[in-house]
Amino acid sequence: MIYFISNQQRTQYIGDVKFEVKEGKNDYIKTSTIEECLEYFKDTEEIGVDTETTGFDPYRDRILSLQLGDFNNQFVIDSSIDFTIFKELLETRVILGQNLKFDLRFLYKLGIHPKKLYDTFLAECVLTTGFTERGLGLKDLGLKYCNVELDKSIRGVIHKEGLTDRVIKYGADDVKYLSTIKEKQLLEINKWGLQNILDLENEVLKVFSLMEYNGIPFNPTKWIEVSEQVEKNTKELEDKLDTLIYQLGTKDLPNINSITKYCNIWKQGSLFFDIKERDCNINWASPAQKLKLLRDLGFKLESVGDKDLQRNKSKHPIFNLLIEYSKQNKLATSFGKDFLKFINPVTKRLHPNYWQILSTGRISVSEPNINQIPAHGELATKIRSAFEAPEGYKIVGGDYSGFELRIIAEFSQDPLWLQAFREGGDLHSILCSKTFDIPIEDVKKSFPGKPEFKYRDVQKTINFGLAYGMSEFKLADTMQISVEEAKGIIAKFFSVVPKVKQFLDMLGYSGRTRGYIRTPEPFRRIRWYQNWEKAYKESDSKVLGEIERASKNMPIQSTNANVIKLAMIRVQDVIDKNNYPVQIIMQVYDELQTLCKEEFAEEWKTILERIMIESAQEVIKSIPVVADCKISDCWSK
């Protein structure tokens, strides 16, 4: 039965005419009261919860209706009722919901903070990680688990129509099937031993939703300075490219060559403005135009992607200029003045959207994508300086040091890697000395025939690349050496660290032969390969090779993601239990950034570091874990 709770009369439409509804004996919607709703749920352990809102921003929009229910009965409560009446109920029961992160932000606005969550959307993500073709919406889950077709077409008319009977039924259906979906999902969750991962994701959901709600402090004035610097850098590189092409295209005048057509030979300035026509007529942001130019210069390229440019950078000065231009232009596009549109007009903060589970368990961020902000270099420092703590606060951040390499050491138990971390040595230098048979003091010398590379830089590429399934072809391409030379380096590297090879080979074989790969204990996340079955039957070596390489990478990245999520849960728990003046504001790969009252910053830095290390030690038990924590006025690496 559907129950409607309101201080207003139910309405209905005939055509465009709105009229009041008189409740009848056979009506499938009955009027109810707050008291009846609270009485119904007083002995229940879990409640299906959903909201209908006027928009997506909890600071500028509001809840139109709150739905509470189970399979038998659903209560639709409209906005004429004070929703905070249900605060105790919602904070003491397991809340079932679909994509709860959205609803939680609106509940936080009302001061309601549910503690126990089960998100059917996240559960389905856990069960289908790796699949590119999957249904994650409530309509998909209703059909899959309940064999019911939920009508979602009404969503677009709710604001216009109000809480008419069909809108009330639509809201009720959003909670009616949640318990059945959960019950059937848990059968699969338990079958595959995924309960730990599901618990982790449901717990960290509270942190991500709170991060989205609280937002990130931001200084737009500093950002404009950064944008102007990026624009200036881009223009300077464009001028250098123009000059280079102009010189090449005009050197044979009055005879022409293959580059002359790109030059503006007869340039003139404006009579009224100090504007001069460019030397060159190429749009340097256009891949097609750049590719045509490079082919006219005699280079047989398939694309102008970074890999192709890097491969040819020693062949002509234009390649280094194009590589740097691409970096600056990407920054100008991603982090220009348009970035300011993401500032919330009410909070004056950024409120990114977090997608909680990618194929390895990592997150993605959008609107804006703060994860793509560069970490190193002068410009990166300037960009991050715009993420500035307000007066009276500090940003206290923690960053795991060499974390994925420590994961490899833990899981492989390779003696050399373990020793390097136990003794606090430089793993890259130690392995470099062994791989290339050179004294450790020579690791920063130039690699033979490649003065732009240092031995240690090459080793670093090897450590990260081969640890994730890099082939001899990829290594040869990256280092610009022959395939045979790359093959020899790989063989020597793995002879130095044989247990790393055994560990990675085991992962690759597992994914290739089973069609999925798991993260080692204690979080047994699964990543599926949707194209595996066909490839396995047909012995498709290309697809199986891709699966093998991905299988070597996934457990390492996934363990990293699992640990940082565990740390987030524990940090938030400590904040809540002690009422600390701290907010988690960002999670960027191995980093966890918090906003803290200035007078508490030193104490909090120690607490944050301890929690991060203890969380990592749930997995990494054989070697020390290092979390570099610092206090700053802005986001710093």
Q: pLDDT grade, residue 157 (50/70/90)?
A: low
96 has pLDDT over 60: yes
Model confidence at 483, pLDDT cuts 50, 70, 90, reads: confident
pLDDT-derived band at 273, boundaries 50, 70, 90: very low
For the stretch 363-400, pLDDT in tens is 999 999 998 888 777 778 888 999 999 999 999 999 99
What pLDDT shows up at residue 272?
Answer: 42
Residue 350 DSSP symbol: B
pLDDT band at 331 (very low <50, low <70, confident <90, very high): confident
Cα–Cα distance for residue pair 521/527, rounded to 1 Å: 15
**Whole-number Cα distances in Å, 134 to 126, 141, 373:** 12, 10, 30
CB-based contact 402:427 (threshold 8 Å): yes
- Taking residue 42's Cβ as centre, other Cβ atoms within 10 Å add up to 8
- Residue 445 structure tokens: 């010398």
Name the fold adopted by 347-404+561-632. Alpha-Beta Plaits (3.30.70)
Angle 427-436/415-422 helices, nearest 10 degrees? 140
Q: Do residues 609 and 398 lie in contact, with contact meaning Cβ atoms separated by under 8 Å?
A: yes
pLDDT at 28: 81
Alpha helices in 312-350 (DSSP H): 317-334
Look at residue 276 in the predicted model and tell me its pLDDT.
Answer: 60
More confident residue, 265 or 179: 179
CATH class name, domain 2-191: alpha beta
Task: Say what the pLDDT of residue 163 is.
Answer: 76
Instruction: Render pLDDT for 440-478 as a digit per residue (tens, 0 to 9).
Output: 998 888 888 777 778 888 888 888 887 667 788 888 877
- The answer on pLDDT for 21 being more than 70 is no
Average pLDDT over residues 321-338: 87
At residue 270, the pLDDT reads: 45
Question: Greater confidence, 313 or 183?
Answer: 183
Q: Is the pTM of this model over 0.85?
A: yes
> Which of these ranges, 21-30, 210-219, 230-239, 552-561, has the smallest mean pLDDT?
21-30
The two domains 347-404+561-632 and 405-555 share their CATH topology (first three levels equal): no
Write the DSSP symbol of residue 71: S
Q: Assign 343 a pLDDT band (cuts: 50, 70, 90).
A: very high
Closest Cα partner for 283 from 241, 313, 323? 241
Please provide the average confidence, as pLDDT, over all residues in the chain: 90
- Cβ atoms of 215 and 180 within 8 Å: the answer is no
At residue 268 the predicted structure's pLDDT band, cuts being 50, 70 and 90, is low
Picking from 164, 225, 176, the residue whose alpha carbon sits closest to that of residue 47 is 176
Q: Taking Cα atoms as reference points, which of 374, 375, 352 lies closest to residue 365?
A: 352
Helix axes 178-191, 120-127, angle to 10 degrees: 30
365 or 14, greater pLDDT: 365
| Helix axis angle, 472-479 to 455-466, nearest 10° | 150
Task: Give the C-alpha separation, 354 to 205, whole Å.
Answer: 10
Both tokens assigned to 40 = 């119904």
Tokens of 626: 């290092």
The reported pLDDT for the residue numbered 156 is 65
What is the amino acid identity at position 42? K
Domain 405-555 falls in which CATH fold? DNA polymerase; domain 1 (1.10.150)
Closest CA to 411 of 98, 621, 631: 621
Proportion of the chain above pLDDT 70, given as a percent: 94
Is the pLDDT higher at 215 or at 266? 215
Query: For the chain, how far is it from start to end, CA to CA, in angstroms?
Result: 55
Q: What tokens appear for 203 in the block?
A: 């717990």
At residue 382, the pLDDT reads: 85
Q: How confident is the model at residue 482 (pLDDT cuts 50, 70, 90)?
A: confident
Q: Which one, of 423, 545, 435, lies nearest residue 479 by Cα?
A: 435
Domain residue ranges in the chain: 2-191, 220-338, 347-404+561-632, 405-555
Lowest pLDDT segment from 209-218, 348-357, 375-384, 610-619: 375-384
CA dihedral sign, ordered 397, 401, 405, 408:
negative
Instruction: Look at 17 and 66; give whichever has higher pLDDT.
Output: 66
pLDDT of residue 167: 86
What 8-state DSSP symbol labels residue 343?
B
Q: How many CB atoms lie within 10 A of CB 173?
A: 22
* pLDDT given at position 110: 97
Residue 49 has pLDDT above 80, yes or no: yes
Query: Between 612 and 162, where is the model more confident?
Result: 612
Beta partners for residue 415, in sequence order: none
